[in-house]
Amino acid sequence: MNSEKLMNEAKLAREKAYVPYSKFPVGAALLSESGQVFHGCNIENSGYSMTNCAERTAFFKAVSDGIKSFKALAVVADTDGPVSPCGACRQVIAEFCDPSMPVYLTNLKGHVLETTVEQLLPGAFSKEDLKYAEGQQ
Ligand SMILES: O=c1ccn([C@H]2C[C@H](O)[C@@H](CO)O2)c(=O)[nH]1
Ligand SMILES: [Zn+2]
């Protein structure tokens, strides 16, 4: 699965978005180490804060199916430039992916920003930080 195909999968995922409030559909496609693709869309709620972003939907689907190793992520929205994942999603991406894993941020015009997990959230809080805290007790 190349990056073009993964970005196309993200577009297909975007079509499933449930966005009656923002009217801003987002799609994500998460490629597992074994070649499976997990689609994610944003899912909103009348209680706005319960909204789940497309990226986190894709990760939570994969992890709940027992998959925790990933090769690439693509995200798409109808933005002016490449879509920018929110802070919560950046933290979830950092939890499950190598810092060097490629992330393809794109839009419907075909602008693509190829970035990495590390670039999206430099200095992410991680399980290593929790280990330090254990040692202090
Ligand atoms: O990278 C992003 C940015 C925003 N959203 C969603 C959350 C909400 O449903 C809507 C507007 O913020 O877009 C995502 O799913 N992913
Ligand atoms: Zn998000």
State yes or no: is 55 an active-site residue.
yes
8 pLDDT higher than 90: yes
> Is the pLDDT reported for residue 136 higher than 80?
no
Stated pTM of the model = 0.96
**Ligand 1: residue whose CA is nearest its atom 13:** 24
Interacting residues of 55 by C-beta distance below 8 A, sequence separation 6+: 26, 28, 40, 73, 75, 85, 89, 92, 93
> Which of 82, 93, 83 shows the shortest CA–CA distance to 121?
93
Query: Which residues make Cβ contacts (< 8 Å) with residue 131, sequence separation at least 6?
Result: none
Is pLDDT at 131 greater than 90 in this prediction?
A: no
Looking at residue 137, its pLDDT comes to 64
**Mind listing the pLDDT tens digit for each residue in 84-126?**
999 999 999 999 999 999 999 999 999 999 999 999 999 999 9
Is the pLDDT at 133 greater than 80? The verdict is no
Query: Domain limits of the chain?
Result: 3-135
Task: Name the H helices within 15-103.
Answer: 54-64, 87-96
**What's the CATH number for 3-135?**
3.40.140.10
Residue type, 55: E
Residues with CB under 6 A from ligand 1: 19, 22, 24, 26, 42, 44, 51, 53-55, 75, 83, 85-86, 89
Which of 24, 50, 56, 59 gets mutated to test ligand 1 (max ligand atoms within 8 A of its CB)?
24
